[in-house]
Every structure is written in C-alpha cells, then in structure tokens.
Structure 1
Amino acid sequence: MPRREEPQIGLAKAIRQLRQEVKLSQEALGLIADIHPTWISHIESGRVNPTWGNVRRIAIGLRVPLPELAALAEDLEAKYGTAPQPEGGGGR
C-alpha cells in the first residue's frame, strides 16, 4: 500500500489546538511524548505526517483518548481540507 504523501492538515491542527488548550509548549509536549520538539513543530505545520506510534504518544502527552484526537482531526480536516493553510488564517 503506498504511503499517503499529502499533509494531514486536520491532524496537524488538532494536535496544535489540543496542545494549546492544555498550555503545553512544543518543547514540553516533545519531552512528554519522547519526540523532538522540532518534529512536533513539523507535525503541527503539516510538513511531516506522524507515524502511528508518534500519534499515540502525542495523544498520551496531551492526555486525550486517541479516538478524541482522531475525531477532532476529522472535523478539522472537513473544515480546512487537505491543503496547507498559511499561518494565521485563511480557512475555507
């Protein structure tokens, strides 16, 4: 099965939103999830797609059930689509 190459914008936005809601920096989430903060930044910006293992560790770090993270990601994907959005705005 080919890898999905397009950015997972809904997941990226969901991770950022939840991280900000729990008032964690990218560095703090990276420490908790054992993922380098640069990768957290890349994931949140849609530059890289996280592995399943990283998504699970991020959900644990955010203290949200994986299905809740997935549901929010799906909602945001429907709202914003799959194209990367510039920082600071511009949804559809």
Structure 2
Amino acid sequence: MNVAEAIVEVKNRLGLHLRAASALAQTAAKFASKILIGTGEDLVNAKSMTNLMMLGAAQGSKLKLRCEGPDAREALKAVQTLFDDRFGEE
C-alpha cells in the first residue's frame, strides 16, 4: 500500500477554523486514500469536519499528515498546497 507522510504547519492567522477545515475536508474527500492529520499519535480523519475542528489547531501548529492508499502521494501534495497557500487567506 502507498503511504506518504509529511509535517504541515498552520500558517493562516485564524488557524484551522471552520472555513479552513471545510476546505481541507473537501480536498481530502476528492481522494480514495485515507487521509489522517493530527498531533503526535493522535491522528484524525481529515475528511471529517468535526474531527478537524476538534484538533483546535492554531496558527503555528505543526501537524502530522499521513495518507494511505492508491493516490496517497497526490493527496499529500494537495493537502500540503492548502497549508502552504494559507487556505487562500491573507
């Protein structure tokens, strides 16, 4: 199975708030792979808005991103791009 991992940093001022979490969940939903994100060993499903909001990731948070599945690399790249672009904010 394809597995791709990276550390992403929350760069936008408001952190992983509702709109950013929504964008992340929608992006994750486009892929067949399982996409997990979180701190340390506590990873949640990135396709779930509720799980993303519960992370409470503020600006400057470093999150572990793990994608498992047929399109893991593409999924990882898409999610990394969201974080790098500050979710289109600022």
Larger Rg belongs to: 1
Query: Does the alignment reach a TM-score above 0.5?
Result: no
Q: As a proportion of its length, which structure holds more strand? A: 2
Which of the pair is proportionally richer in helix? 1
TM-score (norm 1): 0.37
TM-score, reference length from structure 2: 0.37
